[in-house]
Structure 1
Amino acid sequence: MEYISGILLFLLLVVLLSSFVTVKQGTIAVVTVFGKYRRQLPPGLNFKIPLIEQIHARISVQNRSVELSFQAVTQDQANVYFKAMLLYSVLDQNEETIKNVAFKFVDQNNLMQALIRTIEGSIRAYVATQKQANVLAQRNEIVEHVKHQIDPVLETWGYHLQDLQLNDITFDEEIMRSMSRVVASNNLKAAAENEGQALLITKTKGAEADGNAIKIAATAEREAAQLRGQGIALFREEVAKGMTNAAQEMQQANLDTSVILFTMWTEAIKQFAEYSEGNVIFLDGSTDGMNNTMKQLMAMQLNKQAEPKKS
């Protein structure tokens, strides 16, 4: 009798202990009765009807990630290799959402297979409409396309796509080499254009500087020529004034004005002798030659004196 009582007490203790269920934080337990959904248990210590209510599944509402690695083909038949990271989670903690998560798929492996294949198919469909030269620049467009296409499907499963990161996009080795050559040639082209622009600017600035230098030199030369001309004119004016005064004084003294011309003649010969620096000047030193020269000078003087009277 005591033996039977011990067995009954043990069974009662087991049943009592099985009536309490502990659910971890970030997890929701789904309870079924004879295989049918009954209710869900929140995190913490919960009570269930022993032997009748069963824990069908424990669903994590935390974010989950999975690595993807697959291949796609572009519109121009180039192979593209993707490595991506998928971040997803349960849509919310509503009862209908939890029921979809718990009963849509047989197990977690079937869910992951469907999720991965769906995302890969969406990316392959998008890449098939693009040329390989555009794929690298369309990371954001690919992600937005996948989210737009996949989110409605995942919501029916009770999940939400948090993020999709395309960590690596590569091509066949031959295509990568050709792309590298294209980039290198574009860089060389840009460098040549920059050098050409720099050379053009240098040449233009140099031409402007030369033009300004020529203008400055021409202006200086013109001013110098004006000053030289003014100086010669002043010199001639002063000479004329001096000769006029000398001629007037000699006339008042009843002296022949040809003496002035003779003096100028002798002064000129003296200057030739002192400052000729080896140059040879032929002068007629005979009496007739000097008389002819004096007559020519006197005739020039008379013409000069007659000009004011004519005016």
Structure 2
Amino acid sequence: MPPLLIIILVVGLFILLSSFFTVKQQTSAIVERFGKYASTRTSGLQLKIPVIDRIAGRVNLKIQQLDVIIETKTKDNVFVKLKVSVQFKVLQDKVYEAFYKLEYPHDQITSYVFDVVRAEVPKLKLDDVFERKDDIAVAVKRELNVAMSSYGYDIINTLITDIDPDIQVKNAMNRINAADREKTAAEYEAEAGRIRIVAKAKAEAESKRLQGQGIADQRREIARGLVESVDVLNKVGINSQEASALIVVTQHYDTLQAIGADANSNLILLPNSPQAGSEMLNNMVASFTASNQVGEAMKKANSTKRVKGSSTKDAFGGTKESEE
């Protein structure tokens, strides 16, 4: 085969192969002819005129994210760093505008983010920046959509992913939060202590009430038992004084028996005799009798004073009793 034919075949094969090209999914290719825009090609196998047409560039149609870190000042003069994440993509029907109108889209988006954030954050205090970060993100998205739509870009979302105040301010905020939590904990502990004290006081009061009621019931039953004992002794011919003496002596010996039943008791008994109970009873009876006599005498004296009144004449000629 002649060398010239071989060269022609090689050149022809090269031209044929250079006429075909592929475009990836979610990508658009810009084809220029003699340096002028010719067409926009989508994904798949594409054909162009060799030598005359060329691929000027490819545009990514996927959703992209740009992180912008901005340092600005709040209304209360606190410097804070914000990290704004912008999610955007190129509209498929505006690939021409995105490729030819904007040279550096990331720089353009960054400039708009700086402008909006530094206009919104100085209006807010530091606490409000944390609370209203979504409002700031909405303002950034709104401004970017207005500015970038003419260039073929669609702003999907804007997120403020980080708010980082100055380290000294952050430490002060942590101390404030810690103090507030300690205050709340102290209030809860004090309330719990008050509840315990009130519950304990109520329990003690109820215990004392029941104890007093028990003592009263005990004494009432003892008195009822003594009355029944005296009635039984009276029925067999023993008078009340003798019955009382017998009950006192019986209780005296019952007490001694109860004391002696405890083997570990350290109680020392002094010499005593059964007559001690009788003497105690006689003294009690004598005291009661004397007290009754004194009371009767005082009542009689008071009634006598009321009866011995004297009368004298009043202003209308009446009489008034006079004392003797």
- 1:187 positional shift: 1.4
Q: Which amino acid aligns with 2:16?
A: L
**What is the Cα-based RMSD across aligned positions, in Å?**
3.7
- 1:86 positional shift: 3.3
Task: Check if 1:202 corresponds to 2:193.
Answer: no
Q: CA separation of 1:240/1:81 partners in 2, compared to 1, >3 Å: closer, same or farther?
A: same
Within the candidate set 140, 155, 166, 1:161 is matched to 155
Q: Which amino acid aligns with 1:177?
A: N
Q: CA separation of 1:43/1:236 partners in 2, compared to 1, >3 Å: closer, same or farther?
A: same
- For 1:270 and 1:219, the matched residues in 2 are separated by 28
Task: Check if 1:65 corresponds to 2:65.
Answer: yes
- 1:114 positional shift: 0.6
Gaps of 5+ in 2: 251-271, 290-324
Task: Check if 1:216 corresponds to 2:210.
Answer: yes
TM-score (norm 2): 0.67
The one-character-per-residue Cα deviations of 1:54-97 (angstroms, maximum 9, x if unpaired) are: 32320011232333222011111211112344332224x23xx2
- Residue 274 of structure 2 is matched in structure 1 by 274
Q: CA separation of 1:268/1:66 partners in 2, compared to 1, >3 Å: closer, same or farther?
A: closer
- 1:113 positional shift: 0.6
- Residue 77 of structure 2 is matched in structure 1 by 77
| Contact 2:234–2:240 under 8 Å retained in 1 | no
- 1:232 positional shift: 2.6
- For 2:199 and 2:75, the matched residues in 1 are separated by 50
- For 2:249 and 2:221, the matched residues in 1 are separated by 28
Q: Which amino acid aligns with 1:131?
A: K
- For 2:229 and 2:216, the matched residues in 1 are separated by 20
The share of aligned pairs that are identical, in percent, is 24
- Residue 102 of structure 1 is matched in structure 2 by 99
Q: CA separation of 1:283/1:176 partners in 2, compared to 1, >3 Å: closer, same or farther?
A: closer
- 1:46 positional shift: 0.6
Alignment of 1:143-182 (within 5 A): 143-182=137-176
| Contact 2:230–2:243 under 8 Å retained in 1 | no
- For 2:27 and 2:85, the matched residues in 1 are separated by 23
SS at match of 2:76: coil
- Residue 290 of structure 1 is matched in structure 2 by none
| Contact 2:230–2:244 under 8 Å retained in 1 | no
SS at match of 1:276: helix
- 1:237 positional shift: 2.7
- For 1:262 and 1:178, the matched residues in 2 are separated by 89
- Residue 300 of structure 1 is matched in structure 2 by none
Q: CA separation of 1:270/1:81 partners in 2, compared to 1, >3 Å: closer, same or farther?
A: closer
Alignment of 1:280-299 (within 5 A): none
The one-character-per-residue Cα deviations of 1:173-208 (angstroms, maximum 9, x if unpaired) are: 221221122112111111111111211221122122
- For 2:182 and 2:246, the matched residues in 1 are separated by 78
Q: CA separation of 1:161/1:268 partners in 2, compared to 1, >3 Å: closer, same or farther?
A: closer
Task: Check if 1:127 corresponds to 2:114.
Answer: no
- 1:224 positional shift: 1.7
- For 2:17 and 2:243, the matched residues in 1 are separated by 150
- 1:136 positional shift: 2.8
- Residue 308 of structure 2 is matched in structure 1 by none
Q: CA separation of 1:214/1:56 partners in 2, compared to 1, >3 Å: closer, same or farther?
A: same
- For 1:151 and 1:17, the matched residues in 2 are separated by 42
Within the candidate set 220, 223, 226, 2:220 is matched to 226
- For 2:245 and 2:213, the matched residues in 1 are separated by 40
- For 2:63 and 2:96, the matched residues in 1 are separated by 18
Q: Which amino acid aligns with 1:130?
A: L
- 1:115 positional shift: 0.6
Task: Check if 1:87 corresponds to 2:87.
Answer: yes
SS at match of 2:22: strand
TM-score (norm 1): 0.70
